[in-house]
Chains A and B, each alone.
Chain A
Amino acid sequence: MTRRRTLVAAGLLACIAACAGVLGLRREGSRPFPHRAHVLANVACTKCHAQLEQDDGKGLHVPDDATCSSAGCHVKPHDPRPCLGCHATPLALEQLAEARDHLAFDHGRHLPRTKGNCMRCHTGVAEGDDHLRPAMATCFKCHDHDAERDARRCDACHKNLEDGVERPASHLAHDGDWLHEHGTRAASSADLCQTCHQEKFCASCHGVTVAVLPATQHFADPFTPSVHRAGFAARHSLEAKSDPGACQQCHQPERCATCHLARGIAGEGRRSPHPPGWVGLTAADSAHGREARRDPAACASCHGGAGEALCVSCHKVGGVGGNPHPPGFSSRVRMTELPCRMCHTVGR
């Protein structure tokens, strides 16, 4: 038994080792820049990242090969290729370029205040290349942006955000099941959403004049979130019946009938969609009452509007269906308005 466990453990370890590159545990090709080794060797940040004092907002201040080999540091490069081609991850350099394009920041104004100690902001630099850019929370340690935050003004620091490339990851994380949670999360701070999202973003799902759903519009990207992803058309009836009212969160009840009629799934020439025993003389023989109480929106999709007259032909005091009101029913709808006046013809 012990030997078997050992073999299983060894097998798992071998699998993880074999997949280390794929899982991101081991970076292939390039490796993170050894910032820690340089700091321990007492190399000042500004020795390599030169000209920070004259920050023009354009350069990345990343040292080139000449900087590495200057002052006798790396006099005999072991490889003819550029140093940062191997000693820096490509993603880190891309992220620096993005930060430069989308952040209004002046290193020159910060250096005197930090007395040249870059680690006060770049706290994660010793851990590798993943956290070269400080988190937004780091800025708030010194900068009080209460006025901008209250006014939801991001453009004091963030620029060129409209193309949707860069979003401050520490600002708001849309992780987890954001698709289902966003309504609850956004309820108390819709204005925060509007700092990044335009009107069309909300309207593309919640609008009643939507031309095409995001999943269809971005059909070539299977990671575009949408409740109507993949084979939704096939399973939508099951999802609707299992989660009563889910469709009505966005759609009008008549949406079902409109689409089914248009596609020839319902309407003239089609049999009733209801199973045998749908309507009977007693509650035990009649399945429609339970289904209607469970998901009245499903009934309203076909029997709404003028079709409701069919229901009140039985469901009335003295009728086969009896009083449709449950015990304790109350409503603020006037008796002279629909649906009350369908039965209460004299407003009583």
Chain B
Amino acid sequence: MKHSVAIALGFVAVATRSAADPLRLRADALATTRSPAGLVMLEADGEASSTMSAEAVVWTAADPLPGEHAGDVLVIALRARTKDGRASTRVGRFVEMLGAIRPLQIDGAAGRVKLPQHVTVEAFAGIPVVPGLATGRSWDWAAGGRIGRELGDYGSVGLAMMEQRDAGRLVTEEVGLDAGVAFGKRDDVGAKLAYDLANPAIADAEITARHVHSKEMRFDVYAGYRAASHLLPATSLFTVLGDVPAARGGVRMTWRVAPRLELTGDAGARDSDADFAPAVTARARLALDDRGTSALTGELRRDGASDDAWTGVRGAARIALPCALTASSEVELVIPDHDRTAGGRYRGQVWPWALAALGWDRGPWHAAVAIEASASPEARHRVDALVSLGRTWGVK
């Protein structure tokens, strides 16, 4: 782990040696009575010039859960681009997002080139990341590309393809289609579709459309289709089952009733294997000042199908106090329709959860303490404490 930290900081240091712009460092420590008991995160990012920058985030944990790792690298990436921004590249560990293809964290390289006629070509190749700084992996790789075209000022379309292999065996082979179009200033649509080539069928499809009625009111319509077995590695036996796709759809309205009060209503439904279930959310948020630094929110949810249905109520408050302090509280009450007994174990009829916190944010320092209390299927009652402390440095 020490090596990782040194590599990460060294990476950034090299990139910023001749920099006039600041190098930014941040350290955060989090301790909780729920494992992992202690966690330290180090972040650094800086710009060597307007065309090159680097970023790193590493963490180490004390007393992790059995089977989990005591430290890892989240991001180490070096970014470079041409002065006109038409070509850019990333090298290191990062999350690659390629159109409709699912995000994938890799150790590798990615590049993007903007060609004439508003055509963009992207490609990546690397080793899919596994937790724990694993070594000795062979023939694990993923590669993909996307070609996209902007449609004037109002939209874009793209076609992406990705293949992933694990020890040489085909894990994922997917093609994705994405599109986003704006119809005037008030309406737009975004859609994506992923098709599984290994076991041919649609794996995932999403569409969302928005209509802005006025400054105060907007409507969203969304629909999705997902075949869960196609999200599994092709090496899994469960991909050969006759899967039952799940579909969902709904409409959402957001209404700013008053300058500081916003109401949101979401009425949707899910269908999976003839289990038709409503998914309804009503939410109100009241800002207590013009900036919304202090605010209250209340939420009511009804979700789940058949014997997995539940009703939930959530309330939260954040109040700014003098001396850069912030008090916050969050309460949730979940009532499952069925107090099922799993493995002869009673799971409870009501699952309450509450958290009270005090935060302090002054200049480069950030600190917070909290008490969390809950009753859940796992524990009849449980009380935990959380403490965090962070500092940011800007180095000229």
Contact = CB atoms under 8 A, between A and B. Distances in A.
Given A220-B328, A231-B376, A333 B198 contact: yes
A338 B169 contact: yes
Contacts of B155: 188
- Of A90, A220, A230, most buried by chain B (CB within 10 Å of CB) is A220
Contacts of B259: 23-25
A332 interface: yes
Given A188-B179, A221-B359, A242-B305, A199 B75 contact: yes
Interface stretch (B12-20, B136-144, B240-248): B240-248
Contacts of A230: 314, 330, 332, 353, 355
Contacts of A180: 222
Contacts of A237: 308, 377
B280 interface: no
B267 interface: no
Interface in A55-74: none
Contact of B180 (A188, A325, A332): A188
Interface string A229-243: 011011101110111
Contact of A187 (B190, B275, B334): B190
Contact of A202 (B95, B286, B312): B95
Nearest to A329: B240
B105 interface: yes
Contact of B351 (A219, A234, A245): A234
B231 A203 contact: no
Given A187-B178, A222-B317, A231-B353, A210 B74 contact: yes
A2 interface: no
A253 to B, nearest CB: 6
B308 A187 contact: no
Given A245-B231, A297-B228, 18 more contacts: A24-B260, A24-B261, A151-B85, A175-B218, A187-B100, A187-B180, A188-B99, A189-B156, A202-B94, A203-B94, A208-B130, A222-B318, A231-B332, A238-B304, A258-B68, A273-B343, A296-B228, A330-B199
Given A152-B85, A234-B351, A332 B50 contact: no
Contacts of B257: 23
Nearest to A296: B238
A151 B254 CA distance: 33
A77 interface: no
A294 interface: yes
A263 interface: yes
Given A22-B288, A24-B258, A245 B99 contact: no
Given A181-B222, A238-B308, A208 B353 contact: no
A200 B43 CA distance: 9
A258 B197 CA distance: 29
Contacts of A155: 50
B156 to A, nearest CB: 5
Nearest to A129: B290
A258 B97 CA distance: 26
- Of A187, A273, A294, A337, most buried by chain B (CB within 10 Å of CB) is A187
Given A153-B85, A175-B254, A235 B334 contact: yes
Interface string B304-345: 110011101010111000000010111010101000001110
A182 B199 CA distance: 27
Interface SS majority for chain B? strand
B295 interface: yes
B236 interface: yes
A242 B178 contact: no
Contacts of B73: 209
Nearest to B295: A223
B5 to A, nearest CB: 13
A183 B67 contact: no
How many of chain B's residues touch chain A, expressed as a range?
35 or more
A119 to B, nearest CB: 20
Contacts of B158: 187-188
B186 interface: no
A141 to B, nearest CB: 14
Interface string B215-244: 000101010001111011011111111111
A18 interface: no
A234 B377 contact: yes
A295 to B, nearest CB: 5
Contacts of A300: 232, 236, 238
Contacts of A290: 273
B100 A23 contact: no
A200 B326 CA distance: 25
Interface string B94-128: 11011110110100000010100010100000000
Interface stretch (A3-11, A38-46, A101-109, A304-312): A304-312
B192 A239 contact: no
A258 B67 contact: yes
A292 B229 CA distance: 9
Contacts of A199: 55, 75, 77, 90, 94-95
Nearest to B112: A191
Given A211-B72, A248-B228, A331 B198 contact: yes
Nearest to B361: A220
Nearest to A272: B343
